[in-house]
Structure 1
């Protein structure tokens, strides 16, 4: 993945504006991952849910042979944007903060279960 910075443009705050995939790379798109543990439990609280979401994403990526260094785009669906600092802090436990993925965040009225607070999907690229 190549990160492109644009001179004269406002610096991205914790994410990259553009991530370019090398020709011949294999793209991996995950479904949105939520904070449901293997036993079906949902942790209380935004931080705990976010951490579980990232662990679930990590497992899904690994099943396709990818890791956090291969992720070029994250899309977040959150029920409250006031929790963005928490999301960033937890995300930084997983991604390379020197070359973070491109990101989009959307506030939603709710997810498919009322106890869920965040859903994240990823796009990764593996060299062919």
Structure 2
């Protein structure tokens, strides 16, 4: 991974305890903000990728986020917030492993995870929203 944008500072607050794989907060000074809609495991034709395979779906979701970021000249280094929607928290270890392939592990984005009853398509297991900052 390359560097965090110069106008972003990630902080872990000691009083809040250890933050494994994410930062407690991201302070953004100036710049523009980019909000990415929830990304799901679909290809360019709209077909589901990895039905029944959480890891395959997670990799496709993160790949789709990377494509969207690239459209505005950004990478995952500019992401300050990720929100995960999972149909089963049993998949958290797999989600974290895939996330770690994409994010800057030295300054990981802030994150939230929510277990949901279902996503927009019944075969989907994960959806991820992102917020990024343009320096």
* Aligned 1:14-53 pairs, distance under 5 A: 14-23=21-30, 25-39=31-45, 40-44=47-51, 45-53=53-61
Q: State the partner residue of 2:81.
A: 73
Give the deviation of 1:35 after TM superposition. 0.1
CA deviations 1:19-38 (Å, max 9, x no partner) are 11112x11000000000112
Q: State the partner residue of 2:116.
A: 108
Give the deviation of 1:65 after TM superposition. 1.7
Give the deviation of 1:111 after TM superposition. 0.4
Q: State the partner residue of 1:60.
A: 68
- The unaligned stretches of length 5 or more in structure 2 are 1-7
CA deviations 1:4-61 (Å, max 9, x no partner) are 12223311111000011112x1100000000011231321310000000000000011
> TM-score normalised to the size of structure 2?
0.89
User: How many residues are matched?
Assistant: 126
Give the alignment's Cα RMSD to 1 decimal.
Answer: 1.0
Tell me whether 34-43 or 105-114 shows the greater mean CA deviation.
34-43
Tell me whether 2-11 or 41-50 shows the greater mean CA deviation.
2-11
